[in-house]
């Protein structure tokens, strides 16, 4: 779907069942997510990410971080203890309002409603770390690729980008990609791939390079998915970090 309809679609999803739209567990549909359990998954994800970066000997500068597709701030809040400042960005105004209500870190965290297929509100070279997980997959390939370019643009030299995207369809299944003429006020969970050549081209556009790529199951059983670590300029590699807090 085109960008304006993508925005409207996610606004509809946010109004109907925001936690399920972020984490589509069938047992949690209809407002069945427990608030504490939902945000605990964010802390668990960031703890895993810190351990994963330490395992591969990557240290993240503490500076400023970005959570792209932040939703209600599930990962933004989990990142906050490990950085000087964290910005959460989302296409849905309702998600951003909900994230503000759930913020527990005051001015250390801010949330932005981004209505553009770029990150024009964020200065070039201003961030130490950018994160996007189970987000890019819900938009057309062209938009995914454009955002990956933007992720690298806003990184400072030596900064790191961690993101996930589906690579290919295994088989047709639960999620269908609608034509723009099919969508009016519907809330639809679309899925799209981001092939590796597209990733490499987007990363190189602003001086980044993929330093790690690892398969995962985050997109569900119908998709081949992977997560990627990108460095801008010189890699931030050193001795293994002492605990997740030293990384991300």
Task: Write out the chain's pLDDT in tens, 248 residues.
Answer: 688 889 999 999 999 999 999 998 888 888 889 999 999 999 999 999 999 999 999 988 889 999 999 999 999 999 999 999 999 999 999 999 999 999 999 999 999 999 999 999 999 999 999 999 999 999 999 999 999 999 999 999 999 999 999 998 886 554 445 444 454 456 778 899 999 999 999 999 999 999 999 999 999 888 999 999 999 986 555 543 333 333 33
Classify residue 235 by burial, with Cβ atoms within 10 Å: 0-12, 13-18, 19+: middle
Handedness of CA 112, 113, 119, 120 (dihedral sign): negative
**Can you give the pLDDT at residue 189?**
81
| Single pTM value for the model | 0.89
Q: CB within 8 A of 170, min separation 6: which ones?
A: 221, 222, 223, 224
- Report how far residue 101's alpha carbon sits from residue 71's, in angstroms, rounded to the nearest whole number: 12
- How is the beta sheet containing 127-132 ordered, strand by strand? 109-113, 85-90, 64-68, 127-132, 155-169, 223-232, 208-216
**Can you give the pLDDT at residue 155?**
98
**Can you give the pLDDT at residue 221?**
87
CATH T-level fold of 3-246: Rossmann fold (3.40.50)
**Can you give the pLDDT at residue 245?**
36
Q: What is the phi/psi pair of residue 66, to 5°? A: -130, 135
Can you tell me whether residue 225 is helix, strand or coil?
Answer: strand
Side-chain-side CA neighbours of residue 233 (13 Å): 10
**Can you give the pLDDT at residue 185?**
54
- Report how far residue 159's alpha carbon sits from residue 151's, in angstroms, rounded to the nearest whole number: 10
**Can you give the pLDDT at residue 203?**
98
Q: Domain map of the chain by residue range?
A: 3-246
Q: Token pair of 77, please?
A: 């809040």
């Amino acid at each position: 779907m085109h960008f304006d309809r993508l925005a409207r679609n996610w606004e509809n999803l946010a109004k109907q069942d925001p936690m399920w739209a972020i984490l589509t567990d069938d047992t949690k549909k209809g407002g069945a997510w427990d608030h504490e359990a939902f945000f605990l998954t964010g802390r668990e994800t960031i703890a895993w990410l810190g351990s994963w970066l330490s395992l591969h000997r990557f240290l993240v500068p503490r500076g400023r971080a970005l959570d792209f597709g932040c939703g209600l701030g599930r990962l933004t809040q989990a990142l906050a203890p490990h950085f000087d400042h964290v910005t959460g960005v989302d296409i849905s105004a309702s998600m951003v309002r909900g994230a503000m209500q759930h913020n527990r870190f005051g001015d250390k965290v801010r949330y932005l409603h981004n209505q553009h297929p770029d990150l024009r509100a964020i200065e070039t070279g201003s961030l130490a770390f950018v994160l996007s997980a189970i987000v890019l997959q819900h938009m057309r390939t062209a938009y995914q690729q454009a955002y990956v370019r933007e992720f690298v643009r806003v990184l400072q030299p030596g900064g790191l980008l961690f993101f996930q995207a589906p690579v290919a369809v295994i088989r047709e299944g639960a999620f269908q990609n609608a034509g723009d003429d099919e969508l009016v006020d519907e809330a639809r969970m679309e899925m799209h791939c981001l092939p590796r050549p597209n990733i490499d081209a987007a990363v190189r556009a602003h001086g980044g390079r993929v330093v790690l790529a690892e398969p995962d199951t985050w997109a569900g059983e119908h998709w081949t998915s992977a997560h990627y670590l990108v460095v801008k300029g010189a890699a931030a590699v050193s001795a293994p970090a002492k605990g997740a807090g030293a990384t991300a």
